[in-house]
Amino acid sequence: MGFFDRFASGHPQSGKPADPGAEKPAIAGGVVPRLAEARTKLDAKDLPGAMAIYEEVLAAAGTRPDVLVTISGDLGVQGHVRELIDLVAPRYDAAKHGPATGLNLLQAYLAVRDADAAQHLLDILFSLQRPELEERLFGFSNALADMMAIAVPAGPTHSGQAQEEIKVSLASISKPLWFYGLDETAPQLLPTKDGRLRRVAFAQYALAGFQGAAEVEARPEDALARLSRGLPLWMAETFACGAGYDTLAAVGLSSRKHYVIFPNEWTAENIRQLNESSGGNLDYVLTGGLRNRNDDFELTLRIWEVKKFRELKSFTTRWTPATADAVLGQFHEQMRTYMEWAPLPEGHGLAYAAPAAPYAYVHALGAALTQFLGEKGVLEAAHVPAGSALQLAAARANPDDARAQLVLVTTLLRLQAQGQALDAAAVQQARTWLATDAAAAAGVSALAARLP
């Protein structure tokens, strides 16, 4: 038996090593061609077909190191980490099969955040005393330490109470938030793009180590949680307004009609699920974790390459309320540079300029998202804040930013359509901007006639 039987997922172990005395079946066509056939099925998204081949090959040649490393590598590259663990963990013996398969398996355990299994396997790989592996193993050890530092234990259940099944879904925002409601009246604001576009998803940030997530989810919008949604909305909007990118923002929603707070950062398995739910053609996914200790904020952003389900790069930044705008502005520029963002040519949609006061703008986007989703009926009315205070604050803080003004304008139009009373100061701010040359150049001056 392999070292990892105690970490098996509980699924039927059809791949347990055969009785040594039993006759092993022959593999029609040979091992290598069958493994190549399985890889072709993975490329074609036929996971059951590939798994059937792997079961056949493992039944006959499951003790061969080359077989295990090939299967674990192919499944890992495609993001099928659960299947990798189920097939490989019961068979893997480090002394017999070497470190290559073990490293693939270790990455799978880290991807699904199975700290116990990862720690056990890491100990075994260190025990091999292979100097050429030490640098990589210490890297995995650091990753494991980081994961364990932000792990949140499951809360106790209430004795005697039936647990309601709560389903989590992802809402995809595929256009800049200020464009919703202007689709017909101002279609020129959204650029059209030709050629091969890199498709990028910006996921809601986790509130790493956040305590009491369920209690906060059940209440109306929390400021930190709003920030965890507003920041990826801002990034998605930025790249939607740049050349060569097709973007979306993904936000978690509960079947109870309120937002979901993610207390742990997204894993490779979550990335795979998002990619499949988005049509299977994402190139990159950007995830992150957000912390706040006594108004000392820390943001970690990770860039994942979807094709290989691997983390390409991570960035970390920190700010306080006094430094928020300067730090977020620098971070925004750093991200644009790394992702090779470039502005669209003149005449292709609303020209892009970064907001002067991004902190207020991010909160305005978060608030506008809540009102938009409330209008669609996917959030309970009690979770949707009335009014336009955050949008007005962002418009005033960014007087020359057309996007900040449009967030306010579309919010007012949405509230008016719902029969809500509009704040006079917000209406005045919107009317004043709609009378400017900038509004005329954007082709939205006529929206003033729709305001009271």
Instruction: Report the alpha-carbon distance of residue 171 to residue 148 in Å, rounded.
Output: 29
pLDDT recorded at residue 263: 84
Q: What is the mean pLDDT of the chain?
A: 84
CA 68 to chain centre: 30
Residue with tokens 């979550």, as numbered in its chain: 270
Helices (H) and strands (E) in the chain, counts: 17, 6
For 256-401, where are the alpha helices, taking DSSP H only?
268-277, 324-338, 358-375, 389-397
- Look at residues 77, 42, 10 and name the one whose alpha carbon lies nearest to residue 271: 77
Contacts of the segment 410-413: beta carbons below 8 A, 24+ positions apart = 410/177, 410/178, 410/179, 410/180, 410/181, 410/182, 410/368, 411/367, 411/368, 411/371, 412/388, 412/451, 413/181, 413/447, 413/450, 413/451
β-sheet bridge partners, residue 198: 245
pLDDT recorded at residue 398: 98
- Does residue 283 contact residue 320 with C-beta atoms inside 8 Å? no
Assigned CATH for 5-149: 1.25.40
pLDDT recorded at residue 18: 40
pLDDT recorded at residue 251: 93
Amino acid at 356: A
Instruction: Report the alpha-carbon distance of residue 394 to residue 363 in Å, rounded.
Output: 8
- Look at residues 251, 204, 238, 230 and name the one whose alpha carbon lies nearest to residue 367: 230
Instruction: Report the alpha-carbon distance of residue 169 to residue 260 in Å, rounded.
Output: 9
- Does residue 118 contact residue 148 with C-beta atoms inside 8 Å? no
User: Global pTM?
Assistant: 0.69
Instruction: Report the alpha-carbon distance of residue 435 to residue 444 in Å, rounded.
Output: 9
- Positions in the chain short of pLDDT 70: 1-29, 142-166, 209-216, 220
- Condensed to tens digits (0 to 9), the pLDDT of residues 342-369 reads 998 888 899 999 999 999 999 999 999 9
pLDDT recorded at residue 9: 33
- Condensed to tens digits (0 to 9), the pLDDT of residues 374-410 reads 998 889 888 888 899 999 999 999 999 999 999 999 9
Instruction: Report the alpha-carbon distance of residue 361 to residue 138 in Å, rounded.
Output: 40
Q: Which CATH class is domain 168-450?
A: alpha beta
DSSP sequence for 223-261: HHHHHHHHHHHHHHHHHHTBTTEEEEEEEEEETTSSB--
Instruction: Report the alpha-carbon distance of residue 233 to residue 205 in Å, rounded.
Output: 10
| Residues 6+ away with beta carbon under 8 Å from 350 | 189, 190, 191, 241, 402, 403, 442
Instruction: Report the alpha-carbon distance of residue 443 to residue 441 in Å, rounded.
Output: 5
- Does residue 426 contact residue 417 with C-beta atoms inside 8 Å? no
Instruction: Report the alpha-carbon distance of residue 18 to residue 39 in Å, rounded.
Output: 24
Q: Tell me if 5-149 shares its fold with 168-450.
A: no
Give me the phi and psi of 331, to 5 degrees please.
-65, -40
Sequence ranges of the domains in the chain: 5-149, 168-450
